[in-house]
Homo-oligomer: A and B are copies of this chain.
Amino acid sequence: MGGDHGPAVVLPGAEIAAQRHPDARFVLYGEEAAVLPVLEGLPRLKAVSTFHHCDVSIRMDDKPSQALRQGRYRSSMWRAIEAVKLGEANVAVSAGNTGALMAMAKFCLRTMASVERPAIAAVWPTLRGESVVLDVGATIGADTQQLVDFSVMGGAMARALFGIERPTVGLLNIGVEEVKGQDEIREAGRLLRELNLPGITYHGFVEGDDLGRGTVDVVVTEGFTGNIALKTAEGTARQIASYLRAAMSRTLMAKIGYFFAKGAFDRLRDKMDPRKVNGGVFLGLNGIVIKSHGGTDAEGMAAAIDVAYAMASKNLLERIEADLRAFGSRTSPDAALEAPESSTP
């Protein structure tokens, strides 16, 4: 029911994903009057899905507290998340209200035992390929311990998604020198270097322009800065696309050039297509929840389901749990915040 267009986009997106992943099964939650007419026109999805009617839908502008009060136990959003908790689904996908989705996911699935706060991870297209960037909006002002948790969880996600055995991790900062930046980031950097965790290679600090460059596989930051960086990059890409369109339609010569280079422009548009990297992954909960952009179309929705499929089929949750255990075994809860006696750089 979520997103700007509800079932009219979510279901055609699932239809595309069902074609791409023939072994995927879908459990759909929503209002039958809105869902069933659309589902009738999508025979492939209909064949691999079960539908559950829900009286209540969370609106895009509901406050998280309001959504919890009105939608707990019975809204389509809640029941999709609950399906993960009950083991009836491997992963939940929603294009709905982010704040409500996170609040319900935390309430229903609870954070993992050793994780203090969840994070939202985004897949970021780079000159080298793709990186995982987290947190992009769940936790404002993360402390040292949370930044280390994010590094471990982001590393596990990169390993599952990109198949890299020991992904490189960088902490987003405003200078590469060890002295710069906020205390909690410096401290997290020191801790990551000393712990020398088995699942990740700590690279050091990275700056804003390292995001597009793809300097590391995982970029870790707190949610405020991460959200601003993500939206700044999206805005810059739209701005340049707009300049490019204007330049290519301004003179006859440019229009002729565009005609010849149309294939190249199509490839560029495809490369810059924000729909292809749709899907924020909620990490740190006892279950995987994926948030699609609310304003996306069916292709974008299918991309979010692609991410969900990859996360589920590669056992992201088990990997994160194993990595957090390995991390826990290297540091006791209170030793983690101080200087542990350690070890090889």
State which residues 215-257 of A face B: CB under 8 Å: 221, 223-225, 227-240, 242-244, 247-248, 250-251, 253-254, 256-257
Please give, as numbers and ranges, the residues of chain B lying within 8 Å of A258 by CB-CB distance: 257, 261
The minimal Cβ–Cβ distance linking A239 to chain B, given in whole angstroms, is 4
Please give, as numbers and ranges, the residues of chain B lying within 8 Å of A233 by CB-CB distance: 208, 232-233, 235-236
* C-alpha gap A250/B264 in the complex (Å): 8
Known: A247-B264, A257-B257, A262-B257. A232 touches B234 (CB 8 A): no
Please give, as numbers and ranges, the residues of chain B lying within 8 Å of A261 by CB-CB distance: 247-248, 253-254, 256-258, 261
Please state if A182 and B141 are interface contacts (CB–CB under 8 Å).
yes
* C-alpha gap A253/B257 in the complex (Å): 9
State which residues 277-307 of A face B: CB under 8 Å: none
Please state if A232 and B260 are interface contacts (CB–CB under 8 Å).
no
Knowing that A127-B242, A251-B264 touch, tell me 9 more A-B residue pairs with CB under 8 angstroms: A182-B224, A208-B228, A208-B232, A232-B233, A232-B236, A243-B271, A247-B268, A257-B260, A257-B261
The 14 sampled A-B contact pairs (Cβ below 8 Å) are: A208-B234, A209-B234, A212-B235, A212-B236, A225-B228, A228-B228, A232-B233, A233-B235, A248-B264, A250-B267, A253-B261, A254-B261, A257-B258, A257-B259
